Amino acid sequence: MSNLQTQDPIISKAIEAEAKRQFEGLELIPSENYVSESVLEAMGSILTNKYSEGFAGHRYYGGNTHIDVIEQEAIDRAKALFGVEHVNVQPYSGSPANFAVYNAVLEPGDPVSGMNLLDGGHLTHGWKVSATAKFFESHPYHVLPNGHTDFEELKRIAKEFKPKLIWCGATAYPRTIEFAQFAEIADSIGAYLVADISHISGLVAAGVHESPVPYVHIVTTTTHKTLRGPRGAMIMVTKKGLEKDPGLASKIDKAIFPGLQGGPHNHTTAAIAVALKEAATPEFKEYAKQIVKNTKTLEQEFSKAGIKMVSGGSDNHLLLLDLSVNGTLGSQLEYAMDVAHMTANKNTIPGEKSSPYYPSGLRLGTPALTTRGFKEADMVHVADWIVRVIHHIEGDALPKEQSERAGFIKAIHTKYDADPFLKKIGEEIKSYTKAFPIPGI
């Protein structure tokens, strides 16, 4: 940091402060994780200097001999790890990767179907404010009252609207994704089936969650969640996908470049390659198993405390707390936990009665804490801290009048910032985390 400290002390201090925040707190956002020092090293390398439009062996710029080696290695490692026929490692992130899939196999106005955002889906699966709904005709499916996918509804959508592309996968869905049932429906109407496994790709790679590869045509994933890599993405084409359309791999590549992107971020590509090598180790498999064990511990402790969870618990790395019975506490709990050195995110729940800005739920995950070495006994403490905060703020229910909510939340923030109870928990956590290192800090 010496050069940065001298040249740009403002940015340097902000980075140091963020490192301190991460080390002294509990990272519970399920889409966040800690990368290894090797991944950090690749991300901060001189590869960021190189422009590399095109693909390995077919570039529009000279000087890409070594970049080609790196990109091909990332591709080969992904193909081996996930058992797929073709991989594109160039998408800048998950949303561009998903949009590239639309553009590869659809025409504007084509019907599509994905899980409704408020039920746990993703913006890019056809939510109404997303460009994916602007350019394509979206028919979202929902979850049942028990929190599981409503396959009967999806069958009705398939029969009536004949979507040309169906998404399976989600961003706030705590249960196993039943790829075989999705495939049966998609195959019945000849639709492309795309699995967005951004949240569970590390679990899939480790064999902790069933792989979508035998059932779907295309797989998309970010690389920075349970896969524990840099902030990038991949698009993978399966054998089933090539059987449906032998030109599918080429269509995907062309949709990325020149369709949507310019040159790839080579430092990210290298870091993806490093993360994929790590994910192929026995140690990573044990890590993925521990993620689920830690989530199950939280589930058990919340059940004991009478805290309601969407679907009653979890099969994977995340839990979605239903705080509607506590007074729509999603926004309030997120901030109160922040003051108490715990980072989570407010989230809508199925059948949300409030708005996405002031939702009834809170989303929690275990990947980052598991990376730090937390085990079941540690998660009992984590659950206790969360439950204590929930009970402490139960009286701070969201006003029913929407016009009063912004002012209420502002006042709540001021109140929590000075709350000695929350600060005391924060000090407990700060002391506890000293025993759990973070790579690169």
Q: With helix as H, strand as E and coil as C, how does 312-352 read? A: HCCCCCEEEEECHHHCCCHHHHHHHHHHCCEECEEECCCCC
Work out whether strand 318-322 and strand 361-365 pair parallel, antiparallel, or are unpaired: antiparallel
305 and 421 in a common domain: yes
pLDDT of residue 402: 85
Residue of 41, 53, 137, 428 with catalytic role: 53
Tens digit of pLDDT at every position of the chain (441 positions): 579 999 999 999 999 999 999 999 999 999 999 999 999 999 999 999 999 999 999 999 999 999 999 999 999 999 999 999 999 999 999 999 999 999 999 999 999 999 999 999 999 999 999 999 999 999 999 999 999 999 999 999 999 999 999 999 999 999 999 999 999 999 999 999 999 999 999 999 999 999 999 999 999 999 999 999 999 999 999 999 999 999 999 999 999 999 999 999 999 999 999 999 999 999 999 999 999 999 999 999 999 999 999 999 999 999 999 998 877 789 999 999 999 999 999 999 998 888 888 999 999 999 999 999 999 999 999 999 999 999 999 989 888 888 999 999 999 999 999 999 999 999 999 999 999 999 999
Active-site residue flag, 77:
no
- Domain boundary (214, 248, 279) is at 279
165 pairs with which residues across the strands? 112, 192
- Does residue 32 lie in a domain region? no
Whether 110 is catalytic is no
51 is catalytic: yes
CA distance 124 to 321: 23
The answer to whether the Cα torsion of 184, 188, 194, 198 is positive or negative is negative
Which residues are 321's β-sheet partners?
Answer: 309, 362
Query: Taking the alpha carbons of 62, 63, 68, 74 in that order, is the dihedral positive or negative?
Result: negative
Q: Which CATH number characterizes residue 232's domain?
A: 3.40.640.10
Classify residue 290: in a domain, yes or no.
Answer: yes
The predicted structure's pLDDT at residue 86: 98
Q: Are residues 167 and 263 in the same domain?
A: yes
- Are 157 and 197 members of one domain? yes
**Are residues 46 and 173 part of one domain?**
yes
Q: Has residue 23 been placed in a domain? A: no
Question: Has residue 53 been placed in a domain?
Answer: yes
Asked if 275 and 286 sit in the same domain, the reply is: no
Residues 244 and 359 in one domain: no
Q: Do 255 and 296 reside in the same domain of the chain?
A: no
Query: 251 and 367 in one domain?
Result: no
Are residues 125 and 217 both part of a single domain? yes
Q: What is the pLDDT of residue 281?
A: 98
Our answer to whether residue 225 is catalytic in this structure is: yes
CA-nearest of 115, 112, 61, 41 to 268 is 41
Structural domain count of the chain = 2
Catalytic residue among 79, 162, 231, 430: 231
The amino acid occupying position 141 is: Y
3-state secondary structure 400-437: CCHHHHHHHHHHHHHHHHCCHHHHHHHHHHHHHHHHCC
Catalytic residue of the set 164, 225, 346, 372: 225
pLDDT of residue 355: 82
Check whether residue 79 and residue 156 sit in a common domain: yes
Name the pTM for this structure. Answer: 0.96
Which of 220, 222, 269, 328 is an active site residue?
222
How high is the pLDDT of residue 43? 97
Q: Is 253 an annotated catalytic residue?
A: no
349 and 386 belong to one structural domain: yes
Paired residues of 27 in beta bridges: 343
Number of H helices and E strands in the chain, helices first, is: 18, 14
Domain boundary among 252, 279, 306: 279
pLDDT recorded at residue 1 = 53
Residue range(s) defining the domain that contains residue 115: 41-279
Q: Report the C-alpha gap between 60 and 258 in whole angstroms.
A: 11
Claim to verify: residue 106 and residue 244 sit in the same structural domain: yes
